[in-house]
Amino acid sequence: MKSENNQQLNQTQSPHHEDEIDLRELFSILWKGKWIIIGITFIFAIASVGYALYLPNEYKATAVLQPNESGSGGKLASLAGQFGGLASMAGINLGAGESTDAVIAMEIMKSWGFAEEFINKHNIAVELFAAKGWDQSKNKLIIEDGLYNEATETWVREAPKGKTVEPSSWELFEEFKERLSISQDKDTGLVSVSVTHYSPEIAKEWVDLLTKDINQLMKERALEEANQNIQYLEEQFKSTSYAELRAMFSELIQEQHKSKMLAQVSDEYVFKTISEGKVPEEKYKPKRAIIAILGAILGGILSVLIVLIISATRNNKNKKG
């Protein structure tokens, strides 16, 4: 009976004993390869520091905007509830449940078409695609010679397969998209428009231009839509004899004239500037300390794996021998 109990006790203790042996063996292996671990970690740390120092500073300018929904949106919503049935019978959509102008404007700013027009309008392809840094002492943007020749003002890059020497609209959009950030706070509804660039002045300038251009674009769209709606509603007003429909058309025509008037008198049609973009004085990235730390950690992990692989390879050779 005692022998059986001792046997069970030994069986329960053996896994812990094996674990202890494995941990000792593991630490022994790592200790023997400590110079490999130290060396590889040191190399990665130095390389990551060098890479971090090589990366040029980038600056981020941000403007905080308030969506301007004081136009016809609220009134049209009430009219949709009041005349929704009549409008649907007449084949008219009052726009209930549609996205707000601010949401539409944000999506337009992220689109390829808007980016293409923005780049061409302000002639910023070189600053966007060929810049590689900023000379703070001279307050001058540094242009990559292998991409663009400033003396001749021509593109000189080696064109990728299927591309031309001059960057395509899609290539410029991809670069523009990386530098633009648009977000909306769920609690306050405020919209942040940010641009990251090597030059802090360019970052600030582009933020201002983006805000101005999207307001102008939405203003023009609103005026064009209001004119079309007024023309259509006036035709419908003249063609019907029903008093209810005529009253509805009259209300809608008045609201469209109000929308048109608001669009004409306001330059900040869809976004009001709460906090305009400023020229940033401190860099936004790269985070050099984080890059250096991550590089050292990566080197440490890789070096441990190498030591373990070397040890396992030697053990296999010894067993075969």
pLDDT tens sequence across 150-166? 999 999 998 888 889 99
Residue 80 pLDDT > 90? no
DSSP per-residue letters across 156-200: ---PPTT--SSPPHHHHHHHHHHHEEEEE-TTT--EEEEEEESSH
Q: Residue 203's pLDDT is what?
A: 95
Residue 24 pLDDT > 60? yes
Residue 270 pLDDT > 70? yes
- Average pLDDT across the chain, whole number: 83
Residue 89 pLDDT > 70? no
Residue 206 pLDDT > 90? yes
> Distance between CA 103 and CA 118 in Å, rounded?
19
- Residue of 86 and 149 predicted with greater confidence: 149
Q: What are the backbone dihedrals phi and psi of residue 180, each rounded to the nearest 5 degrees, phi first?
A: -105, 135
Q: Residue 252's pLDDT is what?
A: 81
Q: Kindly report, residue by residue over 97-124, the tens digit of the pLDDT.
A: 456 888 999 999 999 999 999 999 999 9
Residue 75 pLDDT > 60? no
Q: Which of 56-70, 114-128, 221-235 has the highest mean pLDDT?
A: 114-128
pTM, to two decimals: 0.73
Residue 243 pLDDT > 70? yes
